[in-house]
């Protein structure tokens, strides 16, 4: 038995963020009609209207996206289950980027775990690699490192240590003299970086336990 045209359902066409932005452009600047856009993109008229209604959200997402390519495959604006945490992480990430501070994946995960504890957000949370992947996808972030920035394994380790040390000083209200080793050992120099990194990691452990390198 053949199906009549009235019984054939239109195959659902899920648009990318880029396509939705193009629809907005054509609707507002080119004055394309809802019917014409629906036909061009093979979607329902109500879908076009919904896209127009979500104009502010779409523009906000695109403004925060890492690049135009980062939104070419994204199809949903669905947010995070932990909205407060997600907002805090977005602000932190954008601030670090604007300051030109090197960022690594593990740094993002540790900061997310820290925000979860500080904001006292209910519910189990794990800043896993899966969470990091979803965070990047939600916000159109292709890579956490600054574009064009190439860090060696030692560079990444040093950046992560500095991040941990900064947090440690804040959390334990440490005095400058308690971290004297950082300057005396040439911790932030480029020579013998692996050796200095090991010394730095030892220093963090001792400070966390309330000890001192002089003991």
CA distance 10 to 142: 33
Query: Could you tell me the maximum CA-CA distance found in the chain, to the nearest angstrom?
Result: 89
| 1 in a structural domain | no
| 214 in a structural domain | no
Q: Residues near 94 by Cβ (< 8 Å), separated by ≥ 6?
A: 64
CA distance 13 to 58: 18
| 143 in a structural domain | no
pTM of the model: 0.47
Using an 8 Å Cβ cutoff, are 35 and 45 in contact?
yes
pLDDT surpassing 50 at residue 192? no
Check whether residue 130 and residue 160 sit in a common domain.
no
Tens-digit pLDDT profile for residues 93-120: 888 888 887 788 888 999 999 999 888 8
| 93 in a structural domain | yes
Check whether residue 165 and residue 198 sit in a common domain.
yes
Q: Which domain holds residue 114?
A: 83-138
Check whether residue 63 and residue 101 sit in a common domain.
no
Check whether residue 164 and residue 193 sit in a common domain.
yes
- If you average pLDDT over each of 26-35, 46-55, 94-103, 201-210, which comes out highest? 46-55
* CA 182 to chain centroid: 30
Tens-digit pLDDT profile for residues 74-85: 656 655 567 788
Q: Residues near 107 by Cβ (< 8 Å), separated by ≥ 6?
A: 144, 159, 160, 163
Check whether residue 129 and residue 171 sit in a common domain.
no
Assign residue 109 the CATH number of its domain: 1.10.10.60
pLDDT surpassing 60 at residue 136? yes
The count of domains in the chain is 3
């Amino acid at each position: 038995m053949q199906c009549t045209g009235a019984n054939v359902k239109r195959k659902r066409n899920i648009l990318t963020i880029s396509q939705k932005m193009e629809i907005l452009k054509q609707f507002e600047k080119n004055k394309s009609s809802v019917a014409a856009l629906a036909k061009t993109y093979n979607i329902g008229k109500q879908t076009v209207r919904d896209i127009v209604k979500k104009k502010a959200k779409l523009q906000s997402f695109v403004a925060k996206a890492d690049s135009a390519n980062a939104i070419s495959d994204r199809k949903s604006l669905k947010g995070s289950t932990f909205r407060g945490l997600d907002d805090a992480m977005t602000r932190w990430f954008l601030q670090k980027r604007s300051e030109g501070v090197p960022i690594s994946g593990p740094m993002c995960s540790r900061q997310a775990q820290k925000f979860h504890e500080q904001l006292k957000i209910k519910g189990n949370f794990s800043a896993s690699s899966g969470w990091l992947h979803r965070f990047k996808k939600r916000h159109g972030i292709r890579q956490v490192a600054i574009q064009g920035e190439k860090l060696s394994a030692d560079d990444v380790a040093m950046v992560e240590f500095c991040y941990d040390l900064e947090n440690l000083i804040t959390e334990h209200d440490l005095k400058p003299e308690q971290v004297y080793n950082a300057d005396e050992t040439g911790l932030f120099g480029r020579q013998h970086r692996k050796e200095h990194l090991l010394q730095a990691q030892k220093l963090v452990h001792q400070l966390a336990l309330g000890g001192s390198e002089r003991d």
